[in-house]
Chains A and B, each alone.
Chain A
Amino acid sequence: KQEVTQIPAALSVPEGENLVLNCSFTDSAIYNLQWFRQDPGKGLTSLLLIQSSQREQTSGRLNASLDKSSGRSTLYIAASQPGDSATYLCAVQDNTNAGKSTFGDGTTLTVKP
């Protein structure tokens, strides 16, 4: 059974800092890994998706990396802003036709002005 762990559970940083969120998974037989953002009381917004054959993806100030062999992914946020405050979830999708996803519990990020 796939298990996904996100560390730390919560993180508080001053505005402008660069930061890294971590995601680890136990079964390396994945199809892809997706990072989401969730604001309080809201739904999930997809940030980045990394296919199993890829090493990283970038979008603006966000960079996600994937090391499938070690079961790890990181989400790097450059020059953090108060608007980045949210919960960040990672999800790994299995490589069956069903494409079922297993989620971590998330990292809640607070960026202080």
Chain B
Amino acid sequence: DAGITQSPRHKVTETGTPVTLRCHQTENHRYMYWYRQDPGHGLRLIHYSYGVKDTDKGEVSDGYSVSRSKTEDFLLTLESATSSQTSVYFCAIRPGLEGAPEQYFGPGTRLTVT
């Protein structure tokens, strides 16, 4: 299994509070992604990173920010959590173009905003 961990695994927070989720990899892969999954649906891309300090928006980026100060860590921040951000958040990694094309996923973080 790819070395990806996410923390915390579960979190309950109140509307309006800031929340930061962490994705940590031990594979030294270049690309990292944050997705959210809502019940009965597939995954939707929030933000992604193609290197240290290099990030870009995905399909559903409003209300989220990211940072990547080290190759191994990719942080997702909800500046002011809302109930619509209750979801399961998955991190994924992928090597650069010279590596295998598969994405590997972390175990997910279940976030509940009350």
Contacts and interface: CB of A to CB of B under 8 A. Distances in A.
Interface of A: 4, 31-32, 34, 36, 42-44, 46, 49, 51, 89, 91, 93, 97-106
Interface in B46-66: 48, 50, 56, 58
A101 B101 contact: no
A103 B43 CA distance: 6
Nearest to B42: A103
Q: Which of B41, B42, B56 has the most CB of A within 10 A?
A: B42
18 contacts: A34-B102, A43-B90, A43-B108, A44-B105, A46-B105, A91-B103, A97-B97, A98-B48, A99-B31, A99-B94, A99-B101, A100-B33, A101-B92, A101-B103, A103-B35, A103-B42, A103-B44, A106-B41
Contact of A46 (B33, B35, B104, B108): B104
Contacts of B45: 100-102
Given A31-B101, A46-B102, A97-B97, A105 B40 contact: yes
Contact of A98 (B31, B42, B44, B107): B31
Interface string B67-110: 00000000000000000000000101010010001111111100
A100 to B, nearest CB: 6
Contact of B41 (A42, A101, A105): A105
B107 A105 contact: no
B31 A44 contact: no
Contacts of B107: 42-43
B52 to A, nearest CB: 16
B50 A98 contact: yes
Contacts of B48: 98, 100
Q: Which of B44, B97, B102, B103 has the most C-beta atoms of chain A within 10 angstroms of its own C-beta?
A: B103
